[in-house]
């Protein structure tokens, strides 16, 4: 993807950005940028660094309007978000990196990758996605945006996106509903029409699906693989739509092995960087 032999001395600039909770570790083999699900935040990736070890630097991406960025205006246009992410994360993509996106995060990672590809910028060594409709299909959110408040809350409870404990705090419930509706608007702004005919990416795409996910099944996730010029793999994991939380140990074990292979290939095959 990029010319030149990589060097472990390569280190990104410490350009500050509200989108990252930490700077990349320059001694790591691979940088993993993680994009969270609708209604979620970067904290869902809090345990990944200790699980994946020092060769991977885990970089959770915090979208505005939640957690420590609660006062920042939310972005509900996917093209605008991709451009902003490229501006903010681009300085930290100067060494081999991978993107992982879960549910909504998969669409964010996809649009960011296409944005960079269209501009001739460095691409990830791989695009990893979990629990999301492929880019040529309408997002799951298209059937959910119009749900009543009560049905939306029940959907969040059923999929693990909200703890029943939150029901004790009406203000929290309203805040969660508002956040997820804005995130649905973001997903719905993804231009899925005609994506099947778009040129496939020169980046491997690997998919992850929860075996008991009633929102996005494994065969639907498999549809992502056709959007790459290079072979990819579909992994199934115990759990439902948020299997990264429900089956964290199993998922992170699979992810660790995959990243080890990607990192090794990146450093040994510099012609692909």
Please tell me the distance from the alpha carbon of residue 234 to that of residue 208, in angstroms, as a whole number: 6
Q: Regarding the domain delimited by 30-265, which CATH topology (the fold level of the hierarchy) does it fall under?
A: Rossmann fold (3.40.50)
| pLDDT at site 93 | 95
Q: In sequence order, what are the residues at sequence separation of 6 or more whose Cβ sits closer than 8 angstroms to the Cβ of residue 61?
A: 19, 20, 33, 34, 35, 36, 42, 85, 89
Residue 241 has pLDDT above 70, yes or no: yes
* pLDDT classification of 131: cutoffs 50, 70, 90: very high
**pLDDT (tens digit, 9 = 90+) per residue, 2-31?**
433 344 434 455 678 999 988 899 889 999
Segment 52-72 shows an average pLDDT of 96
Mean pLDDT, the chain, whole residue set: 89
For 188, residues 6+ apart whose C-beta sits below 8 A from its C-beta are: 139, 141, 142, 145
Q: Are 191 and 142 in contact (CB under 8 A)?
A: no
Please list, in sequence order, all residues whose beta carbon lies within 8 angstroms of the beta carbon of residue 50, skipping any fewer than 6 positions away: none
pLDDT for residue 152? 86
Q: What average pLDDT does this structure show over 233-241?
A: 96
What local confidence, expressed as pLDDT, does residue 4 receive? 36
For residues 237 and 235, give the distance between their C-alpha atoms in angstroms, rounded to a whole number. 7
> pLDDT tens digit string along 253-269?
999 999 999 988 876 66
Distance CA 208, CA 131 (A): 7
**Domain spans, the chain:** 30-265
Whole-number Cα distances in Å, 204 to 2, 91, 207, 255, 272: 15, 22, 10, 15, 12
Interior CA angle at 20 toward 15 and 21, to 5°?
115
Q: Is the pLDDT of residue 204 over 60?
A: yes
What percentage of the chain reaches a pLDDT higher than 90? 69
The sign of the CA dihedral 105, 208, 201, 203 is: positive
């Amino acid at each position: 993807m990029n010319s030149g032999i990589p060097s472990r001395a390569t280190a990104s600039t410490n350009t500050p950005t509200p989108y990252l909770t930490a700077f990349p570790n320059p001694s790591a083999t691979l940088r993993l940028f993680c994009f969270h699900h609708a209604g979620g935040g970067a904290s869902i990736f809090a345990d990944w660094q200790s699980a994946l070890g020092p060769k991977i630097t885990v970089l959770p991406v915090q979208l505005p309007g939640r957690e420590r960025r609660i006062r920042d205006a939310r972005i509900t246009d996917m093209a605008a978000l991709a451009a902003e992410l490229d501006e903010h994360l681009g300085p930290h993509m100067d060494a081999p990196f991978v993107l992982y996106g879960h549910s909504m995060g998969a669409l964010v990672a996809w649009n960011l990758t296409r944005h960079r590809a269209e501009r001739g910028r460095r691409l990830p060594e791989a695009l990893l996605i979990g629990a999301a409709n492929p880019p040529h299909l309408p997002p799951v959110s298209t059937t959910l945006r119009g749900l009543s408040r009560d049905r939306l809350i029940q959907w969040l409870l059923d999929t693990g996106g909200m703890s029943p404990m939150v029901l004790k705090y009406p203000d929290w419930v309203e805040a969660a509903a508002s956040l997820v509706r804005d995130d649905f608007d973001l997903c719905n702004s993804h231009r899925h029409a005609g994506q099947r005919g778009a040129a496939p990416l020169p980046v491997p795409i690997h998919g992850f699906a929860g075996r008991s996910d009633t929102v996005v099944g494994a065969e639907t996730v498999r549809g992502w693989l056709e959007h790459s010029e290079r072979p990819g793999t579909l992994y199934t994991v115990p759990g439902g739509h948020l299997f990264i939380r429900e089956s964290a140990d199993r998922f992170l074990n699979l992810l660790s092995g995959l990243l080890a292979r990607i990192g090794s290939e990146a450093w040994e095959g510099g012609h692909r960087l």
